[in-house]
């Protein structure tokens, strides 16, 4: 979408959107069943970004969504991106706050935001206030600014941060993709360099970033974030303690 021109590329946009819709996921129809079953079989919690297709209210809206699955395969949470960024608003609908919640997993309390939601202080605070141990963000963001943001969140929230980037080159786009020859001329171009990273509470990078390379990052967590928050900085309690006063 970031390479399409409003107006002149309308016909191409429609073709690409049709493919996106055809590859989207309906949670109501349990189209995540294979992933849920894999989580159950291997007894692992999974946080996964998806293009979600609404099938409950009209069926015409797509959402930029992140789901959290428990080790039993159950869908623990669905968060739809609150406000799609810039041209994304031509693709995805606006989400709501029902998914701004932390859930318990074998890895601790997990919360997730999507891409530039990491620049929304109140969205971050909503998760901090629930005592998250692990902040996960599927993102298209990259570069020094994005990495600095992940370190800031780890320090501000006293939590582990896992940022999952999108590393791909022009050659990774299927040949049948509408407009590929015009939009992705150079097969060696890194359309997005990725920059996936894992950051420990306090802000130290412990894995990654994976820049212009593909791979899997591993990090061992001791869930020490809660202790770090209590000893050093509790952004959700120390700075904003509810009082008995009310304002009308």
Nearest to 156 by CA among 221, 202, 200: 202
State pTM to two decimals: 0.87
Q: Which stretches of the chain score pLDDT less than 50?
A: 242-248
Each residue's pLDDT tens digit, 15-71: 888 888 899 999 999 999 999 999 999 999 999 999 999 888 777 899 999 999 999
Q: What are phi and psi of 112, to 5 degrees?
A: -140, 140
Strands (E), 184-248: 190-199, 205-211
The CA-atom distances, in angstroms, between 95 and each of 55, 66, 82, 112 are 15, 11, 4, 14
Q: Phi/psi at 170 (nearest 5 deg)?
A: -55, -35
């Amino acid at each position: 979408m970031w390479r399409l021109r409003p107006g002149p590329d309308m016909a191409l946009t429609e073709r690409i959107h049709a493919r996106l819709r055809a590859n989207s996921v309906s949670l109501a129809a349990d189209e995540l069943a294979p992933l849920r079953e894999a989580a159950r079989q291997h007894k692992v919690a999974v946080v996964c970004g998806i293009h979600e297709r609404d099938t409950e209210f009209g069926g015409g809206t797509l959402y930029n969504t992140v789901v959290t699955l428990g080790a039993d395969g159950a869908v623990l949470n669905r968060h739809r991106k609150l406000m799609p960024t810039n041209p994304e608003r031509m693709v995805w609908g606006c989400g709501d706050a029902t998914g701004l919640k932390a859930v318990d997993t074998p890895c601790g309390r997990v919360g997730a935001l999507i891409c530039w939601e990491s620049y929304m202080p109140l969205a971050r605070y909503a998760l901090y206030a629930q005592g998250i141990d692990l902040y996960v963000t599927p993102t298209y963001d990259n570069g020094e600014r994005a990495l600095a943001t992940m370190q800031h969140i780890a320090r501000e929230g006293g939590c582990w941060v896992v940022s999952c980037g999108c590393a791909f080159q022009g050659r990774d786009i299927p040949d049948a993709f509408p407009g590929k020859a015009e939009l992705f001329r150079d097969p060696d171009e890194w359309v997005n360099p990725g920059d996936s990273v894992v950051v420990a509470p306090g802000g130290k990078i412990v894995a990654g970033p994976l820049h212009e390379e593909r791979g899997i990052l591993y990090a061992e967590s001791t869930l020490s974030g809660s202790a770090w928050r209590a000893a050093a900085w509790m952004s959700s309690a120390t700075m904003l303690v509810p009082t008995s006063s009310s304002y009308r």
